[in-house]
Structure 1
Amino acid sequence: MARFPKGYVKPTDSCGSCLAWGNFSGRLCPTCYMFGRSHDAAACTGCRRIQPLKWDYCRLCWCQARLNARAVTGQPADETDVRDRLAAVRHHQLFFMGLHYRRRPTPSARRRGGRRGAPRKPPPAPTWRPDPGWRQLPLFEQIPRDYSRLALADSDLASPWLAWAKYLAHRLAEARGWGRGIRFAVNRGLAIVLTGYVDGDVIRHTEIFTPLRALDLPVGHTITVLEEMGIFEDDSEPSFEHWLVERLEGLAPGIRSETERWTRVLRDGGPRSLPRREGTVWLYLNRARPALMEWSNRYDHLREVTRDDVLAYIKTLHGRQRHDQLVALR
């Protein structure tokens, strides 16, 4: 098989079967390629070429018969009518690739806006932050809310906070291109988390993540609206912290503390080093971890590891693995 240099783009060419002109990667256009996989090759009754045949005619003859039928009837013909016109083919009109595909009809009003002729649902009316007025102060501040007990049927759909949230969600959806499904799901999530909300309450990530995920609602989009309202607090544990604890598991205490300090300096930077990207930090620690695990069986601190220990470990590696771990251990 011929090999082309990187970045090579095959020029516009003519298909070896139907002779159509167009852009395609191989010798045949995609339609002729699939046609040849399902039909056997022989001499065509019409053009006498050796090509894959359907009812003794090649695809080029079929395209011409279809074109003739359309010229007579003024509309696309079915396969039976086209087959009856194959024997009358005496010439071939060359064409560009893709012209014989039947165009899809334009989307109907039902697809665009629900039922045919029904008006689209109007956007929510402009709403602003509700006036808190008088309110009952909470008796206990530290007790988290249990959103898992709430369902859409229990939601307070008349809440002014929900009306404000839906208006903000509509503006964000228009600005960021959220689809119809995301908009609907975000409104459902807002109806659940804002039920019973009063001015001064704070909605936390750890309280709403699991309930919304259990209902297959978009947590990130819902949080975006809550942040726009200024009532959200992100108390989730960063993924880096969880990953670091997992990667340091099994190391000797002294080696663990020194490795953790080195990893945090890589990520956050220090007096003599710039911060690295989080992906680079993950890569370095993952590559150095096998050596650290082996040394943890013999030593309590990294200062006990000698040059001979490093060389003895490197001798057990080969190729790319040796190079990658040398870079990380350096």
Structure 2
Amino acid sequence: MEKVQHHQLFFINLHRPRQPGPPRGKQGRRRGRPRHPDPAPAHQPVSGWLQPPLFEARRDFTRFNRQEHARLDNPWLAWARHTAHRLGEAHGWPRGVRLDVGRALVIVLSGHVSGEVVRHSEIFPALRSRGLSVQRTVEVLADIGVFQDDRTPSFEQWLERKLEGIASGIRRDVEHWARLLHDGGPRSQPRDEATVWGYLNRIRPVLLEWSVRYGHLREVTRDDVLTQLDALHGSQRRHRLIVLRSLFGERRRAAPSSRIRPAASALASTSTASSNPWSPSTSTTPLPRSPSRRTGWSSRSPRCTPRDPVRSGAFNSTTSTSAIASS
């Protein structure tokens, strides 16, 4: 107390004056709008006898006006809003997404009746122009069972473009083979879409060239296959050979009586390995010794074992097992 020489005096509420009205700033932020109440629980509407429609008429949701066309008491709308609330809580949708989905459901289901379906091509322009979520709305419509996806898959559009210009007979076989690779079958697993793209892109120039002279794959000869393979080297030749084997193999399984054996035999007797300049006939000259640490020369030659001709496919499919055993 002896060191205190003077005191600082303040008048009340002058160093931090209070503003009239509601509090502001960080300590007293203004509250936003009140939280929307949760939709009332609803169930699937009971539908009795339905009059089948005479024809399908597409609806234009882009002309929707909330003041004129909104029917909030529609039982299908009530069930969809309750489903959207349930899906939003399960998947953690933000508040903005929930509100957008609610607006979209009012546009789509205000005039909905039992037996109708909502197509993707009908709702996409209306929701996209208003900036509403199409994906979340589709999830709700699919959950209540009124959505119909009429979009054309990108694979179908791509396949249609790639098969353009190919002869009808060859196109039919190639389309069946490509769909089997993409979708799978009773004895085959579906391949990756990129694999199907690579396969068809690899042999499309070959199919276009064959379409000029032939109308079916059964007309392709052994010389035609070998000509296409001899034009390539390395990995490109190996890839084309694998694709042609897959195509002709599936064709033989689908139609065993078809005459495609010359082309199939050419593919079976052709090795997937690239042409190797080293052969057993040129191996008569011994390889030079490599120097060793102790003697300066080693008796062990570099390992250069030829491939097994049976496994590499060097033998023709007509070679008998006895000839292979005797060799």
Same fold (TM over 0.5): yes
- Which of 219, 222, 226 is equivalent to 2:141? 226
- Which of 114, 118, 132 is equivalent to 2:32? 118
Which digits, 9 at most, give the CA deviation of each residue in 1:175-224, with x for residues without a partner? Answer: 12333443333222212111211233222233323333344433221111
Report the secondary structure of 1:199's partner residue: coil
Hey, what does 1:144 align to over in structure 2? 58
Counterpart of 2:134 in structure 1: which amino acid?
V
- Flag structure 1 segments of 5+ consecutive residues without an equivalent: 1-107
1:214 & 1:191 partners in 2: Cα distance?
A: 15
Hey, what does 1:128 align to over in structure 2? 42
Q: Which has the higher contact order (CA 8 A, sep 6+)?
A: 2
Hey, what does 1:203 align to over in structure 2? 118
Hey, what does 2:165 align to over in structure 1? 250
2:176 & 2:212 partners in 1: Cα distance?
A: 20
Aligned length: 219
Percent identical = 50
The CA deviation at 1:259 is 0.4
1:253 & 1:325 partners in 2: Cα distance?
A: 22
The CA deviation at 1:252 is 1.0
Counterpart of 1:205 in structure 2: which amino acid?
H
2:229 equivalent to 1:314: yes
1:304 & 1:314 partners in 2: Cα distance?
A: 18
Would the aligned equivalents of 1:124 and 1:166 in 2 still touch at CA under 8 Å?
A: no
Which digits, 9 at most, give the CA deviation of each residue in 1:224-269, with x for residues without a partner? Answer: 1012222223333333333322221111111101101211222343
Change (3 A) 1:139 1:301: closer
1:122 & 1:311 partners in 2: Cα distance?
A: 73
Which digits, 9 at most, give the CA deviation of each residue in 1:76-97, with x for residues without a partner? Answer: xxxxxxxxxxxxxxxxxxxxxx
* Higher Cα Rg, which structure: 2
- Which of 173, 194, 197 is equivalent to 2:109? 194
Would the aligned equivalents of 2:170 and 2:216 in 1 still touch at CA under 8 Å?
A: yes
- Flag structure 2 segments of 5+ consecutive residues without an equivalent: 1-25, 246-327
Change (3 A) 1:229 1:271: closer
2:163 & 2:67 partners in 1: Cα distance?
A: 46
Would the aligned equivalents of 1:155 and 1:191 in 2 still touch at CA under 8 Å?
A: no
Would the aligned equivalents of 2:203 and 2:244 in 1 still touch at CA under 8 Å?
A: yes
Report the secondary structure of 1:297's partner residue: helix
Report the secondary structure of 2:213's partner residue: coil
Hey, what does 1:172 align to over in structure 2? 87
Change (3 A) 1:155 1:316: farther
2:179 equivalent to 1:260: no
Would the aligned equivalents of 1:123 and 1:170 in 2 still touch at CA under 8 Å?
A: no
Q: With structure 1 as the length reference, what TM-score do the two structures score?
A: 0.56
Hey, what does 1:302 align to over in structure 2? 217
